[in-house]
Amino acid sequence: MRIFDPHIHMSSRTTDDYERMRAAGVAAVVEPSFWLGQPRTSAATFLDYFDSLLGWEPYRAAQYGIAHHCALALNPKEANDPRCTPVLAELPRYLDKDNVVAVGEVGYDSLTPAEDTALATQLELAARHGLPALVHTPHRDKAAGLERTLAMLAESELAPERVVLDHLNETTVERAADSGCWMAFSVYPDTKMDERRTVAVLRRFGLDRMLVNSAADWGRSDPLKTRRVADAMLDAGFTEDDVDRVLWRNPVAFFAQSGRLDLDGRPQPESYEGNSILRGTPAEPAGR
């Protein structure tokens, strides 16, 4: 089974996770930029983070045979912090980099005017750089948040097929399907969608434009949720080809719109700027 997790925050995860993901079939990921769980204090710290998503994290992933791409953006939550918004002026030069396959995650958190501005600006950047956009839908007041998102998308130059609406559930999927955008479901251990509910949505709405992700991060989450959905699909009578479509071909088709998806894995150096993921020299085999 081959799996592409189109939304996972690997910088927050360990090498054990990479190892378990690869063993479960995960061969490719997209890591969208997001907030750190605590506020950033300046725009400059975004640049170190973006550099890490462009260099160090793909290097780490490659050690486990996983192709790593990223989506870059000012996240919805920090769009409200004037210490962070200057990063919007830095984004264009980052969006030109090879490993960037989307602008994201953008969208609404608390539906503020500052979030309007950041979203409109970044949708325009996506259009200008020929990139699709990964759009987060808010966790509170989901229906109103989706309506405002769709209104903003309608005003942008970005075609619906170049947009994925993320963190959908049963209350928002129908409206999202009508919009012509791609639809993504984040499967979490306690909140958002679980495997069973996700499979029920796929049964009802079909597999066209559907994506499934773990959205695993520094919070309680599970980087193997993509595999668990695949298994739940098979248990529910979907075929292996159906699973391959949702967990591989769909995300490949979506991010291939960037023209930058490279699933063979870019060659990685033996060490990254002199550093490796080895902590010290490996122990000598016994008996030498």
Burial 242-275 (b: 16+ CB within 10 A, else e): bbebbbbebbeebbebbebbeeeeeeeeeebeee
Which span sits near Zn ion by CB under 5 A: 75-83, 121-129, 211-219, 256-264?
A: 211-219
Which span sits near Zn ion by CB under 5 A: 20-28, 34-42, 59-67, 191-199?
A: 34-42
Please identify, using beta-carbon distances, which residue of 21 and 215 lies nearer to Zn ion: 215
Please identify, using beta-carbon distances, which residue of 18 and 35 lies nearer to Zn ion: 35
Please identify, using beta-carbon distances, which residue of 91 and 215 lies nearer to Zn ion: 215
Which span sits near Zn ion by CB under 5 A: 29-37, 38-46, 89-97, 226-234?
A: 29-37
* DSSP annotation of 284: P
- Asked whether position 49 contacts Zn ion by CB under 5 A, the answer is no
Please identify, using beta-carbon distances, which residue of 71 and 243 lies nearer to Zn ion: 71
> Mapping DSSP to helix (H, G, I), strand (E, B) and coil, where does residue 88 land?
helix
Instruction: Report the residue from 4, 34, 108, 238 that binds Zn ion according to the rule CB under 5 A.
Output: 34
Which span sits near Zn ion by CB under 5 A: 16-24, 30-38, 90-98, 199-207?
A: 30-38
Q: Report 100-129 residues binding Zn ion (CB under 5 A).
A: none
How far, in Å, CA of 242 to CA of 233, rounded?
Answer: 8
Shortest distance, CB of residue 34 to Zn ion, whole angstroms?
5
Please identify, using beta-carbon distances, which residue of 146 and 215 lies nearer to Zn ion: 215
Output the CA–CA distances (angstroms, integers) from residue 214 to 57, 85, 96, 185, 189, in the order listed: 17, 28, 27, 8, 9
Output the CA–CA distances (angstroms, integers) from residue 248 to 21, 28, 253, in the order listed: 14, 9, 9
> Mapping DSSP to helix (H, G, I), strand (E, B) and coil, where does residue 260 land?
coil
Shortest distance, CB of residue 167 to Zn ion, whole angstroms?
8
Measure the CA dihedral 214/211/174/130, to 10°.
120
Shortest distance, CB of residue 274 to Zn ion, whole angstroms?
31
Please identify, using beta-carbon distances, which residue of 185 and 238 lies nearer to Zn ion: 185
Residue 130: Cβ within 10 Å count: 12
Shortest distance, CB of residue 213 to Zn ion, whole angstroms?
8
Shortest distance, CB of residue 153 to Zn ion, whole angstroms?
19
In degrees, rounded to 5, the angle at the alpha carbon of residue 104 between the alpha carbons of residues 251 and 42 is 150
Shortest distance, CB of residue 278 to Zn ion, whole angstroms?
29
Shortest distance, CB of residue 73 to Zn ion, whole angstroms?
11
Measure the CA dihedral 110/190/70/182, to 10°.
-70
Structural contact between residues 53 and 29, judged by C-beta atoms closer than 8 angstroms: no
Backbone angles phi, psi at 263, to 5 degrees: -90, -5
Please identify, using beta-carbon distances, which residue of 29 and 243 lies nearer to Zn ion: 29
Q: Which residues bind Zn ion (CB under 5 A)?
A: 34, 215
